[in-house]
Amino acid sequence: MLSYRHAYHAGNFADVMKHVVLTSLLKYLTQKDAGLCYIDTHAGAGSYDLRSEYAQKTGESGLGISKLWGTRDAPEAVKDYLALVHQFNSAPDLTKYPGSPWFAATLLRPQDRLALCEMHSSDFPLLKKMFAKDRRVHCHLEDGYRFSAGLVPPIERRGLILMDPSYELSHEYETAIATLGKLHRQFSTGTYVLWYPILDERRTVSLRRHIENLPIRDVLHLALRVADRKSLPGMYGSGVIVVNPPWTLRGAMETALPFLAVELGTSDKATSEIEQWVNE
């Protein structure tokens, strides 16, 4: 698990979708004055150089953020996301891509708090250095699956928990679902975001079955497939499972996801999906 480096995949279509969702959630949750706790179980390095050897080796950002860089006419949720990526680059050219912790730290306020978990020995120092001067941010060299249980319920009583594992190990799907269930038992009112890659439709069916077996009553499933399995071997889509989504999220994604399917699709098989997996 510790061999995974997100630098190879930064800014790909899955990052774009995930961060459009994350931006939309954070903008809604920060409308209330009360403090919010953001927890990231797999925070990564926090920032990625798209000119690096890692990024250049795969070129995945070319099928993701690069396709949208010059876009001006986009749904509001995508515009909000793109504005943040432009802000992060602070120049006309796209050279860097922010990780989820940066999106969160930028949108959160002085009364909010961030707890970031990362285990990779190379990524953690980069993450810690990035937020060294931000007193709201606490970085933990810990296994996010285990350590997050001690972080909920947060003292703020409001929270957004992002679970974005690499799924390098076959049992990690089960671990992610089990962790989601445990955290929800301890903090049932939090908003949870679980990202997963779409490599095989049977895995998505299995995930839905396991989610429906949890004592969770409000689950929205979002998916983006830029191609089908035959035309794009490997990861041809990604999904986001949102527990306790705000009422605004579905409407925002009903315009954002079809737009992303058109703009990021690599074949005429590109699709988007919004489905309530579990109803209140």
Residues recognised as catalytic? 164
d(CA 261, CA 243): 23
What percentage of the chain carries pLDDT values higher than 90?
Answer: 85
Contacts of 227 (CB under 8 A, 6+ apart): 236, 237, 265, 266, 267, 269, 270
Report residue 241 as tokens: 């499972």
CATH number at residue 197: 3.40.50.150
Length of the chain: 280
The pLDDT value recorded for residue 75 is 98
- Any domain includes 124: yes
Taking 70 as the threshold, does the pLDDT of residue 1 lie above it? Answer: no
- Any domain includes 255: yes
d(CA 118, CA 275): 31
Taking 70 as the threshold, does the pLDDT of residue 3 lie above it? Answer: no
- Any domain includes 250: yes
Taking 90 as the threshold, does the pLDDT of residue 26 lie above it? Answer: yes
- Show the domain range for 91: 6-278
- Any domain includes 126: yes
- Any domain includes 181: yes
Taking 60 as the threshold, does the pLDDT of residue 202 lie above it? Answer: yes
Taking 80 as the threshold, does the pLDDT of residue 4 lie above it? Answer: no
Report residue 1 as tokens: 């698990």
CA 124 to chain centre: 18
> Which of these, 231, 245, 131, 229, lies nearest to 189 by C-alpha position?
245
Contact 221, 40 (CB under 8 A): no
The pLDDT value recorded for residue 246 is 97
**What domain count does the chain have?**
1
- Any domain includes 1: no
What percentage of the chain carries pLDDT values higher than 70?
Answer: 98
**Least reliable range by pLDDT among 34-48, 94-108, 219-233:** 219-233
d(CA 36, CA 26): 10
Report residue 146 as tokens: 């285990």
Q: Tens digits of per-residue pLDDT, 130-176?
A: 999 999 999 999 999 999 999 999 999 999 999 999 998 878 999 99
Taking 80 as the threshold, does the pLDDT of residue 17 lie above it? Answer: yes
The pLDDT value recorded for residue 219 is 98
**Between 81 and 200, the higher pLDDT residue:** 81
